[in-house]
A = this chain, B = another copy of it.
Amino acid sequence: MLTRSVCAADYKEVISVLNEWWGGRQMTDMLPKLFFVHFQNTSFIIEKDGRIIGFLIGFISQTYLNEAYVHFVGVHPKYRKKGIAKRLYELFFEAVQKRGCEIVRCLTSPANHTSIAFHTKMGFQIEKGDYEVNGISIHKDYDGQGQERVLFVKYLKLE
């Protein structure tokens, strides 16, 4: 396995498998090429035998300079539960910490229990929202009407 930064040319391969990796959900509108062009220093690829098997797209907040945000993480369905997402997050934490960030944020849908469990295991806390369902705090209409989200925050350890 090879880990490296994202480059613009990766977009074509990632976008062609995106909906498939998400079990047929229409995801491509949420990932325009701009993220592969303008946030390369904080976005990563994991390859195996010359094919992309995982990617993370993240950036540093331009409003809050000590905060970083993970926008999108995907792992090839055949390579799940092998620590690939964990490795991508570790690369991201290291990159943003080097650039002065102490806080990492990201979010997921309340229905994505795998994602909630993963982020909790990775040391993220759930931010208090508008109401709770099964003990999980939810932000109502966060990404537009009916678009509920679970918000995560992680405080990076100062070294």
Report which A residues bind B (CB closer than 8 A): 12, 15-16, 28-30, 32-34, 37-42, 59-64, 67, 69, 71, 141-145, 147
Contacts and interface: CB of A to CB of B under 8 A. Distances in A.
A61 B143 CA distance: 23
Nearest to A16: B145
Q: How many copies does the complex hold?
A: 2
B143 A32 contact: yes
Nearest to A62: B39
A71 B34 contact: yes
Main secondary structure of the interface of A (DSSP, over half): mixed
Nearest to A37: B63
Given A143-B32, A144-B28, A37 B61 contact: yes
Given A38-B69, A69-B34, A141 B61 contact: no
A141 B29 CA distance: 13
A2 B36 CA distance: 34
Among A30, A34, A61, max chain B CB count under 10 A is at A34
A28 B41 CA distance: 27
Among A34, A62, A147, max chain B CB count under 10 A is at A62
Given A12-B141, A144-B15, A59 B38 contact: yes
A39 B15 contact: no
A136 to B, nearest CB: 19
A62 B60 contact: yes
